[in-house]
Chain A
Amino acid sequence: MIAVSRLRRTFGDRVAVDDVSFELVPGEVFGLLGPNGGGKTTTLRMVAGLIRPSSGEVRIDGVPVTSETSARLRARIGFLTEAPGLWDQFSVRQTLLVYARLHGLDAPERAVDASLELFGLGDRAAEHTVKLSKGLKQRVALARALLHNPSVLLLDEPTAGLDPESARGVRDLILRLRHDRRAVVVSTHNLDEVDRIADRVAVIKSRLLALDTPAALRRRLFGQRLRIVLAEPAEPVLAKLLAVTNANGALTAAERVLVADLARLPMSVPDLVRRLVEAGAAIEAIVPEDRPLEDAYLELVGVRPGSDGGQTGVRPRREA
C-alpha cells in the first residue's frame, strides 16, 4: 500500500532525510519516532507528495508519487498536519464543507453530516473554529483528514497537546482505522502511545535507526529479561547462586529484585527457579521485565536516560 524506498531529502547542505525505506500494508499502524528535526514531518510530506524527494521513491498502491501523479494520489491520502490549520472565522460545518468540495465528493453536505456524527461534533457544527478547545480543533482536523474516506492516513503529532481523554479518543480512532484496513502512519513524540497502538515503529534521526515491532526493538536492545522479586535482599541470594552456577553476568541484583538476562543465562528458567529455591530464596513473583519503549528510543537516538536530552556525543546505533 505504501512503499518508501531509499528516500533522501536535502535542504541546501542540510540532510533532512537520508536513505529511509519502509513499507506498510493495509490495516497496519506504523509509528514514526525521532527527535525534533529528525525528518519525520519531511518524510510524511514526501509520502503525501507535498515535497519531492532529492532521491528515492514513494509508491502508493504501486503508483510512484511524482509531480504528475501526486494530485491524484492525494485523493487516497488523509493528512493530519502538525497544526490543525483551521480558518478561525469558519464554523466547523463550513470548514468540512470546503474540504468535501475540494475532494469532489458527490454529496458534500451528506458527507459532512456523517463526519460530524462520527466525530461527535454534531452539536458544535455551527461554532466558529476559533472558539473550540485544542482537543476539539484536533478532532475537526481529524474529521477533515478522513472526510474523503482515504485508504492511507498520515498523522503528524495527532495527540500533541491534548488532554488524556482527547488523546485516548484519538488513539481509539486510530485503532478503528486499523480495524477498517487503512494504512496509518503516526508521527509522534509520545512513545507510550506508539507502544500501545503501533504494529511497527521506525526510529528516524535523518537516517533510519531501527524498524521493528516495539517488542522486538526492546528485545533487540535489551534482550529478554526476567524480574525475580524476593522476600529478602537479593545480593546474598545472588552470591549463593553464583557460587554453584556459572551464571555470572546473566544475573544482577538490586534491593529485593534479581534480574535475569535470558540470552546469557546458561540454564532454563525452571532450572533457575529450582536453584534459587535450593539456595533458600523466598520468591514472591517472577515477571518478564518490560522496559519502556522510551528506553529503547533513547538508546537508539543516542541519548542516555537522565541526560539533558541533547546531543551527548554518543554515536547513534545503526541498524545492521
Chain B
Amino acid sequence: MTRLTAILRKDLLDLRLNPWVILPAAIGGTIALVLPLVIAVIVPQVSGESLSESGELEMAVDIMRAQAGGAALDPETAIQAWVFQQFLMFLILIPVLGATSMAAHSVVGEKQARTLEPLLATPITTFELLAGKALAALLPALALTAIYFSIDLVLVAIFARPGVLGALLGPRSLILVFVIGPLAALAALQVAICVSSRVEDDRTAQGIGSFVALPVAMVFVAPLVGLQSVTHLILGGLVAALVIANVLLMRLSIAVFDRESILTRWK
C-alpha cells in the first residue's frame, strides 16, 4: 500500500508540475457546462419560444416524470431538467478523456524517459505500479467532475426553472455522477494503461488510448442517461458489470505489463 501511494503521490506531483495536461479536459468541461444553459435557458428566453411549445421533446417529459420525484414536473421544467441531465454525461466523460491522456502516457512516458527501469528495480509489484498510476489519473478526473457538477448545480439553481435543481439531484443523476461515472472512468483509464504498456511511443498510446477508452466509458454511462425507465435491477446490473469489468481489466493490465519485454525490447 505504501508503494502504491508513493506512485500515486509521484504522479499527482507530476500533474501539479505539468497542469496543462488537463487543460483540454477543463476547456471541454466548461463547454459542457455552458451549452445546456444556452440550449435550455438562454435560447428560449431570447427567442421567446419555450422548449415545450414545439412538442418535439415530449419524450423528455416522459423520461423525467418517470424518475423518482419527477411526476409533478411541468413540461417546461421537465425538458430543462432533461437537457441538463443529458449534458451530465459529458461532464463525466470529458474529464475522463483528459485523464485518459495521462493514463496513456503513464507507462510509455516513463519508458521513453528511461525512468521505468529504476522504478522497477525497487520492491514495487506490478499491481502497485499500475493501480497507483490508474488512481493518479482517476482522482484528478473525479475532482474535475465534482467541481463541474457543483458549478452545474449552482448555475441551474440560479438560471433554470424552480424544480430543475431538485430533478437533477435525483437518484439517477447522483448515481451517475458518484457511482457509475467513477467506475466507468476507472475502466476507461485501465484500458488506456493497458495500451500504454503495449505500445512503444507516446503518440500511439494517446491515439489508441483515447480511441478505445472513451467508448468503454460511454458504454456504461450512456444507457443511464438515455433509458426512459431505469429500475434498481438495471442500476445494480450496471454497477456490478462495472465492478467486474474493473477487476478483469486490472488482471489484464497486470498480464499485459511484461517487465521483460518493456526492459529488453523497447529502445
Contact = CB atoms under 8 A, between A and B. Distances in A.
Nearest to A75: B123
A149 to B, nearest CB: 14
A75 B2 CA distance: 14
Nearest to A83: B114
B27 interface: no
A85 B117 contact: yes
The 3 closest A-B pairs by CB, nearest first: A101-B6, A79-B121, A83-B114
Chain B's interface: helix, strand, loop or mixed, by majority?
A: helix
Interface residues of A, number: 30
A85 B263 contact: no
Interface in B8-22: 9-10, 13-14, 17-18
A312 interface: no
B143 interface: no
B259 A144 contact: no
A253 interface: no
B6 A102 contact: yes
Contacts of B264: 11, 42, 45, 51
B64 to A, nearest CB: 47
A80 to B, nearest CB: 8
B124 A102 contact: yes
B17 A79 contact: no
B14 A74 contact: no
Nearest to A67: B259
A89 B14 contact: yes
A72 B264 CA distance: 22
A40 B207 CA distance: 36
B113 A74 contact: no
Interface in A97-133: 98-99, 101-104
Interface string B244-266: 00000000000000011001100
B179 interface: no
A48 B6 contact: no
Given A51-B264, A79-B118, A87-B113, 8 more contacts: A11-B264, A71-B123, A74-B121, A74-B122, A75-B123, A87-B10, A87-B14, A89-B18
Contacts of B14: 87, 89-90
B50 interface: no
Contact of B17 (A86, A89, A141): A89
A52 interface: yes
A50 B123 contact: no
Given A71-B125, A81-B118, A88-B113, A102 B260 contact: no
Given A90-B13, A101-B9, A104-B3, A72 B117 contact: no
A77 interface: yes
A50 B263 contact: yes
A70 B209 CA distance: 31
Contact of A51 (B6, B119, B122, B259): B259
Contacts of A141: 118
Interface string A50-83: 1110000000000000000001101101010101
Contact of B6 (A71, A85, A98, A144): A98
A51 B260 CA distance: 5
With most chain A CB atoms within 10 A of its CB, the pick from B115, B117, B122, B264 is B122
Nearest to B1: A104
Nearest to A144: B118
Contacts of A81: 114, 117-118, 121
A71 B124 contact: yes
A166 interface: no
A5 interface: no
A252 interface: no
A42 B121 CA distance: 13
Contacts of A101: 2-3, 5-6, 9
Contact of B123 (A74, A86, A89, A90): A74
A33 to B, nearest CB: 21
A21 to B, nearest CB: 22
B93 to A, nearest CB: 28
26 contacts: A42-B264, A50-B120, A50-B260, A51-B263, A71-B123, A74-B122, A79-B118, A81-B118, A83-B114, A83-B117, A85-B113, A85-B116, A85-B118, A87-B113, A90-B13, A90-B17, A98-B6, A98-B9, A98-B10, A99-B118, A102-B6, A102-B123, A103-B122, A104-B2, A104-B3, A141-B118
A224 interface: no
